[in-house]
Amino acid sequence: MPRRTFAFFVAPSLIIMLALMTLPLLASVVLGMHYITFRNLDAPLWVGWQNYEQALADREFWDSLEFTLVFIAATVPTRIVLGLIFALLLDQIKRFRGAFI
């Protein structure tokens, strides 16, 4: 397949994927630079990087980040190993093989 044809077919999905990942991320960062309460939903106050500075200075933020990373480090390998074990067990089944495929 010529390179130009490949780019023609891949470009639309790549553009859509990048937009669906980038735009919400940018919107979250911009929204995080505002002070918003239920009383000022119509006119949120611009505080810039102050919210991020407060979060990075807060001990609870670092504790929760540490807990999250430990949780990920414990659960992801466990799920991978269990999934592999179940896949190998299901592969050994000869009877009713069509029901699982």
pLDDT digits (tens, 9 = 90+) for 22-58: 999 999 999 999 999 998 888 899 999 999 999 999 9
CA distance 51 to 29: 10
How many CA atoms lie within 13 Å of 8's alpha carbon, on the beta-carbon side? 5
Mean confidence (pLDDT) of the chain: 93
- Between the CA of residue 55 and those of 33, 95, 98, what are the distances in Å? 12, 56, 53
Instruction: Tell me the whole-structure pTM to 2 decimals.
Output: 0.67
Lowest mean pLDDT among 12-21, 43-52, 88-97: 88-97
